[in-house]
Protein backbone atom coordinates (compact mmCIF):
# COMPACT_ATOMS: atom_id res chain seq x y z
CA UNK A 1 0.00 0.00 0.00
CA UNK A 2 1.36 3.41 -0.94
CA UNK A 3 1.52 5.88 1.94
CA UNK A 4 2.91 9.32 1.10
CA UNK A 5 4.62 9.77 4.45
CA UNK A 6 7.99 8.84 5.87
CA UNK A 7 7.06 6.36 8.60
CA UNK A 8 8.95 4.85 11.51
CA UNK A 9 7.59 1.50 12.69
CA UNK A 10 8.52 -0.08 16.01
CA UNK A 11 7.75 -3.69 16.87
CA UNK A 12 8.08 -4.79 13.25
CA UNK A 13 8.74 -8.41 14.25
CA UNK A 14 5.61 -8.58 16.41
CA UNK A 15 2.18 -9.90 15.51
CA UNK A 16 0.73 -6.56 14.38
CA UNK A 17 3.95 -4.91 13.24
CA UNK A 18 4.91 -7.77 10.94
CA UNK A 19 1.60 -7.43 9.06
CA UNK A 20 1.89 -3.65 8.87
CA UNK A 21 5.46 -4.00 7.60
CA UNK A 22 4.21 -5.72 4.46
CA UNK A 23 1.55 -3.07 3.76
CA UNK A 24 3.82 -0.03 3.46
CA UNK A 25 6.29 0.63 0.66
CA UNK A 26 9.81 0.00 1.92
CA UNK A 27 10.95 3.30 0.42
CA UNK A 28 8.66 5.13 2.87
CA UNK A 29 9.55 3.03 5.90
CA UNK A 30 12.18 2.92 8.64
CA UNK A 31 12.02 0.29 11.36
CA UNK A 32 13.88 -0.33 14.57
CA UNK A 33 14.03 -2.84 17.37
CA UNK A 34 16.23 -5.54 18.81
CA UNK A 35 16.30 -7.62 15.64
CA UNK A 36 15.63 -7.09 11.96
CA UNK A 37 12.67 -9.01 10.46
CA UNK A 38 13.53 -12.00 8.30
CA UNK A 39 14.14 -11.22 4.62
CA UNK A 40 13.89 -7.47 5.23
CA UNK A 41 16.28 -5.37 3.16
CA UNK A 42 15.00 -1.90 4.03
CA UNK A 43 16.31 0.56 6.61
CA UNK A 44 16.69 -1.02 10.06
CA UNK A 45 18.16 0.44 13.25
CA UNK A 46 18.98 -1.69 16.27
CA UNK A 47 17.70 -0.12 19.50
CA UNK A 48 16.43 -1.06 22.92
CA UNK A 49 13.07 0.45 23.85
CA UNK A 50 14.12 2.10 27.11
CA UNK A 51 14.62 5.48 28.74
CA UNK A 52 18.27 5.79 27.69
CA UNK A 53 18.37 5.11 23.93
CA UNK A 54 19.20 7.92 21.53
CA UNK A 55 16.92 7.52 18.51
CA UNK A 56 18.17 10.57 16.59
CA UNK A 57 19.53 8.67 13.58
CA UNK A 58 16.32 6.71 13.05
CA UNK A 59 14.14 9.81 13.45
CA UNK A 60 15.80 11.87 10.72
CA UNK A 61 13.10 12.90 8.23
CA UNK A 62 10.33 10.88 9.90
CA UNK A 63 6.80 12.34 9.70
CA UNK A 64 4.76 9.60 11.41
CA UNK A 65 5.60 6.97 14.03
CA UNK A 66 3.56 3.80 14.46
CA UNK A 67 4.57 2.47 17.86
CA UNK A 68 3.71 -1.22 18.19
CA UNK A 69 6.67 -2.27 20.36
CA UNK A 70 5.82 -3.11 23.95
CA UNK A 71 6.45 -5.47 26.81
CA UNK A 72 3.40 -7.58 26.18
CA UNK A 73 0.86 -8.99 28.61
CA UNK A 74 2.50 -12.02 30.24
CA UNK A 75 0.58 -14.86 31.87
CA UNK A 76 2.22 -16.11 35.09
CA UNK A 77 4.74 -13.25 35.13
CA UNK A 78 7.68 -14.22 37.35
CA UNK A 79 9.13 -10.72 37.73
CA UNK A 80 9.52 -9.59 41.34
CA UNK A 81 7.87 -6.27 40.44
CA UNK A 82 5.86 -6.77 37.22
CA UNK A 83 4.62 -3.18 37.09
CA UNK A 84 8.16 -1.83 37.27
CA UNK A 85 9.20 -4.10 34.39
CA UNK A 86 6.22 -3.07 32.26
CA UNK A 87 6.90 0.60 32.97
CA UNK A 88 10.52 0.37 31.77
CA UNK A 89 9.40 -0.40 28.23
CA UNK A 90 5.76 0.63 27.93
CA UNK A 91 5.99 3.95 29.77
CA UNK A 92 9.60 5.12 30.03
CA UNK A 93 10.70 3.72 26.66
CA UNK A 94 7.60 5.03 24.89
CA UNK A 95 7.92 8.49 26.41
CA UNK A 96 11.63 8.66 25.58
CA UNK A 97 10.84 7.89 21.94
CA UNK A 98 7.93 10.35 21.87
CA UNK A 99 9.93 13.21 23.37
CA UNK A 100 12.72 12.74 20.85
CA UNK A 101 10.15 12.42 18.07
CA UNK A 102 8.52 15.73 18.99
CA UNK A 103 11.94 17.41 19.14
CA UNK A 104 12.78 15.99 15.71
CA UNK A 105 9.61 17.42 14.15
CA UNK A 106 7.56 14.22 13.87
CA UNK A 107 4.00 15.27 13.07
CA UNK A 108 2.00 12.28 14.34
CA UNK A 109 2.62 9.52 16.89
CA UNK A 110 0.29 6.49 16.63
CA UNK A 111 0.31 4.43 19.81
CA UNK A 112 -1.01 0.87 19.84
CA UNK A 113 -2.41 0.52 23.33
CA UNK A 114 -4.71 -2.21 24.70
CA UNK A 115 -8.31 -2.74 25.74
CA UNK A 116 -6.88 -3.66 29.13
CA UNK A 117 -6.72 0.09 29.77
CA UNK A 118 -10.52 0.07 29.70
CA UNK A 119 -10.93 -3.00 31.90
CA UNK A 120 -11.31 -6.78 31.90
CA UNK A 121 -15.05 -7.31 31.52
CA UNK A 122 -18.30 -5.65 30.50
CA UNK A 123 -20.53 -8.33 32.00
CA UNK A 124 -23.63 -6.55 33.31
CA UNK A 125 -22.39 -3.26 31.82
CA UNK A 126 -22.60 -1.40 28.53
CA UNK A 127 -19.85 -1.80 25.93
CA UNK A 128 -16.58 -0.01 26.61
CA UNK A 129 -16.15 3.43 25.05
CA UNK A 130 -13.01 5.52 24.70
CA UNK A 131 -13.46 7.29 28.05
CA UNK A 132 -13.51 4.06 30.08
CA UNK A 133 -10.26 3.55 31.96
CA UNK A 134 -10.10 0.90 34.68
CA UNK A 135 -7.03 -1.33 34.26
CA UNK A 136 -6.70 -4.17 36.74
CA UNK A 137 -3.27 -5.64 36.03
CA UNK A 138 0.28 -4.22 35.70
CA UNK A 139 0.24 -4.44 31.90
CA UNK A 140 -3.00 -2.47 31.64
CA UNK A 141 -1.75 0.10 34.16
CA UNK A 142 1.47 0.61 32.19
CA UNK A 143 -0.45 1.14 28.94
CA UNK A 144 -2.76 3.67 30.62
CA UNK A 145 0.22 5.55 32.06
CA UNK A 146 1.78 5.66 28.59
CA UNK A 147 -1.47 7.05 27.15
CA UNK A 148 -1.52 9.74 29.84
CA UNK A 149 2.09 10.72 29.24
CA UNK A 150 1.63 10.91 25.46
CA UNK A 151 -1.48 13.08 25.74
CA UNK A 152 0.33 15.50 28.05
CA UNK A 153 3.28 15.61 25.66
CA UNK A 154 0.93 16.40 22.77
CA UNK A 155 -0.44 19.39 24.64
CA UNK A 156 3.06 20.75 25.33
CA UNK A 157 4.72 20.04 21.97
CA UNK A 158 1.92 20.11 19.39
CA UNK A 159 2.84 16.63 18.09
CA UNK A 160 -0.38 14.81 17.22
CA UNK A 161 -1.03 11.63 19.20
CA UNK A 162 -3.42 8.89 18.08
CA UNK A 163 -4.22 6.11 20.54
CA UNK A 164 -5.71 2.81 19.37
CA UNK A 165 -7.01 0.28 21.92
CA UNK A 166 -7.70 -3.08 20.26
CA UNK A 167 -9.40 -5.99 22.03
CA UNK A 168 -8.24 -9.56 21.35
CA UNK A 169 -6.32 -9.61 18.06
CA UNK A 170 -6.39 -12.76 15.95
CA UNK A 171 -5.10 -13.83 12.56
CA UNK A 172 -2.47 -16.06 10.96
CA UNK A 173 0.33 -16.69 13.43
CA UNK A 174 -1.78 -15.89 16.50
CA UNK A 175 -0.47 -17.30 19.80
CA UNK A 176 -1.64 -17.54 23.42
CA UNK A 177 -5.31 -18.17 24.23
CA UNK A 178 -6.64 -18.00 20.68
CA UNK A 179 -4.03 -20.54 19.54
CA UNK A 180 -5.12 -22.84 22.37
CA UNK A 181 -8.73 -22.54 21.17
CA UNK A 182 -7.58 -23.53 17.68
CA UNK A 183 -5.86 -26.62 19.07
CA UNK A 184 -8.89 -27.49 21.15
CA UNK A 185 -11.24 -27.03 18.20
CA UNK A 186 -9.01 -29.23 16.06
CA UNK A 187 -9.63 -32.20 18.35
CA UNK A 188 -12.23 -34.81 17.42
CA UNK A 189 -13.99 -34.58 20.76
CA UNK A 190 -17.19 -32.70 21.67
CA UNK A 191 -16.52 -29.45 23.52
CA UNK A 192 -18.54 -28.28 26.55
CA UNK A 193 -19.40 -24.75 25.36
CA UNK A 194 -23.00 -24.92 24.11
CA UNK A 195 -24.23 -22.84 27.08
CA UNK A 196 -21.57 -20.11 26.84
CA UNK A 197 -23.54 -17.30 25.21
CA UNK A 198 -21.31 -14.43 26.29
CA UNK A 199 -20.28 -11.59 23.94
CA UNK A 200 -16.68 -10.66 23.23
CA UNK A 201 -15.29 -8.17 20.73
CA UNK A 202 -12.26 -9.14 18.66
CA UNK A 203 -10.34 -7.65 15.77
CA UNK A 204 -8.78 -9.49 12.84
CA UNK A 205 -5.19 -8.34 12.46
CA UNK A 206 -5.75 -7.27 8.83
CA UNK A 207 -8.68 -5.09 9.95
CA UNK A 208 -6.59 -3.52 12.70
CA UNK A 209 -3.73 -2.80 10.31
CA UNK A 210 -6.17 -1.28 7.81
CA UNK A 211 -7.37 1.07 10.55
CA UNK A 212 -3.81 1.97 11.59
CA UNK A 213 -3.06 2.93 8.00
CA UNK A 214 -6.23 5.05 7.93
CA UNK A 215 -4.88 6.90 10.99
CA UNK A 216 -1.53 7.70 9.38
CA UNK A 217 -2.80 10.69 7.44
CA UNK A 218 -6.51 11.16 8.23
CA UNK A 219 -6.83 14.71 9.58
CA UNK A 220 -9.66 13.81 11.97
CA UNK A 221 -7.55 11.15 13.72
CA UNK A 222 -5.30 13.78 15.33
CA UNK A 223 -5.28 13.63 19.15
CA UNK A 224 -8.04 11.03 19.28
CA UNK A 225 -8.43 7.71 21.08
CA UNK A 226 -10.16 4.86 19.27
CA UNK A 227 -11.57 1.46 20.18
CA UNK A 228 -11.53 -0.78 17.13
CA UNK A 229 -13.14 -4.16 16.44
CA UNK A 230 -14.55 -6.33 13.68
CA UNK A 231 -18.04 -5.15 14.61
CA UNK A 232 -19.45 -8.64 15.24
CA UNK A 233 -19.21 -9.72 18.87
CA UNK A 234 -19.03 -13.48 19.39
CA UNK A 235 -19.91 -15.85 22.18
CA UNK A 236 -17.46 -18.67 22.88
CA UNK A 237 -20.15 -20.96 21.43
CA UNK A 238 -20.23 -18.94 18.17
CA UNK A 239 -16.45 -18.65 17.98
CA UNK A 240 -15.91 -22.40 18.28
CA UNK A 241 -18.67 -22.94 15.70
CA UNK A 242 -16.92 -20.58 13.24
CA UNK A 243 -13.56 -22.23 13.85
CA UNK A 244 -14.84 -25.76 13.40
CA UNK A 245 -16.82 -24.73 10.32
CA UNK A 246 -13.57 -23.44 8.80
CA UNK A 247 -12.01 -26.79 9.67
CA UNK A 248 -14.81 -28.58 7.82
CA UNK A 249 -16.36 -29.95 10.99
CA UNK A 250 -19.64 -29.67 12.84
CA UNK A 251 -19.60 -27.62 16.03
CA UNK A 252 -20.30 -30.67 18.24
CA UNK A 253 -20.89 -28.74 21.50
CA UNK A 254 -22.19 -30.07 24.81
CA UNK A 255 -24.45 -28.04 27.20
CA UNK A 256 -22.34 -27.60 30.35
CA UNK A 257 -23.55 -24.80 32.68
CA UNK A 258 -21.36 -21.69 32.86
CA UNK A 259 -21.49 -21.85 36.67
CA UNK A 260 -19.65 -25.15 36.57
CA UNK A 261 -16.81 -23.58 34.60
CA UNK A 262 -16.52 -20.83 37.20
CA UNK A 263 -16.51 -23.34 40.06
CA UNK A 264 -13.73 -25.33 38.44
CA UNK A 265 -11.83 -22.10 37.85
CA UNK A 266 -12.01 -21.18 41.53
CA UNK A 267 -11.02 -24.66 42.69
CA UNK A 268 -8.02 -24.79 40.35
CA UNK A 269 -6.90 -21.17 40.74
CA UNK A 270 -7.66 -20.53 37.06
CA UNK A 271 -10.61 -18.18 37.47
CA UNK A 272 -8.90 -15.54 35.32
CA UNK A 273 -8.62 -17.99 32.44
CA UNK A 274 -12.25 -19.04 32.86
CA UNK A 275 -13.45 -15.43 32.96
CA UNK A 276 -11.73 -14.69 29.65
CA UNK A 277 -13.65 -17.60 28.16
CA UNK A 278 -17.13 -17.05 29.58
CA UNK A 279 -17.48 -13.34 30.51
CA UNK A 280 -18.42 -10.43 28.26
CA UNK A 281 -15.93 -7.92 26.89
CA UNK A 282 -17.52 -5.67 24.30
CA UNK A 283 -16.23 -2.47 22.76
CA UNK A 284 -18.11 0.26 20.96
CA UNK A 285 -16.10 0.99 17.83
CA UNK A 286 -18.63 3.43 16.36
CA UNK A 287 -16.31 6.42 16.82
CA UNK A 288 -13.64 4.82 14.62
CA UNK A 289 -16.23 4.05 11.96
CA UNK A 290 -18.05 7.38 11.95
CA UNK A 291 -15.23 9.87 12.54
CA UNK A 292 -12.81 8.28 10.08
CA UNK A 293 -15.45 6.79 7.75
CA UNK A 294 -13.88 3.37 8.30
CA UNK A 295 -15.35 -0.05 7.62
CA UNK A 296 -13.44 -3.27 8.37
CA UNK A 297 -12.47 -4.77 5.02
CA UNK A 298 -12.79 -8.35 6.29
CA UNK A 299 -15.67 -10.11 8.03
CA UNK A 300 -15.22 -12.21 11.16
CA UNK A 301 -15.87 -15.34 9.10
CA UNK A 302 -13.13 -14.38 6.61
CA UNK A 303 -10.70 -13.57 9.41
CA UNK A 304 -11.28 -16.84 11.22
CA UNK A 305 -11.02 -18.81 7.98
CA UNK A 306 -7.62 -17.24 7.23
CA UNK A 307 -6.47 -17.93 10.80
CA UNK A 308 -7.55 -21.56 10.62
CA UNK A 309 -5.92 -22.06 7.22
CA UNK A 310 -2.60 -20.80 8.57
CA UNK A 311 -2.94 -22.96 11.69
CA UNK A 312 -3.53 -26.10 9.66
CA UNK A 313 -0.65 -25.34 7.33
CA UNK A 314 1.96 -24.81 10.05
CA UNK A 315 0.90 -26.92 13.03
Just list the catalytic residues: 139
108-112/160-165 β-pairing: parallel
Please state, as a whole number, how many other Cβ atoms lie within 10 Å of the Cβ of residue 134. Answer: 13
Q: State whether the Cα torsion 120-192-175-21 is positive or negative.
A: negative
Residue by residue, what is the 3-state secondary structure of 239-279?
HHHHHHHHCCCCCCECCCCHHHHHHHHHHHCCHHHHHHHHC
**β-bridge partners, 202:** 168
| DSSP H or E run through 215 | helix 205-217
What does the alpha-carbon distance between residue 55 and residue 167 come to, in Å, rounded to a whole number? Answer: 30
> From CA 54, how far away is CA 65, in angstroms rounded?
16
- Residue 182's H or E segment, with its range, is helix 176-185
Amino acid sequence: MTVAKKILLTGATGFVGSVLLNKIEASNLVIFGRNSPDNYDGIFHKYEMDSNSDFATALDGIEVIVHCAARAHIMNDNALDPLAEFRKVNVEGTLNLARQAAAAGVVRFIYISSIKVSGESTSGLRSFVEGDRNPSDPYGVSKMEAENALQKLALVTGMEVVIIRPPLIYGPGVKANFFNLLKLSNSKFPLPFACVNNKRSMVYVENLVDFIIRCIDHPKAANQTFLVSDGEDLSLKSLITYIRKSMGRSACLLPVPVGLFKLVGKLTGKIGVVDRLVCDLQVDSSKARKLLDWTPPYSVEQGIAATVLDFRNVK
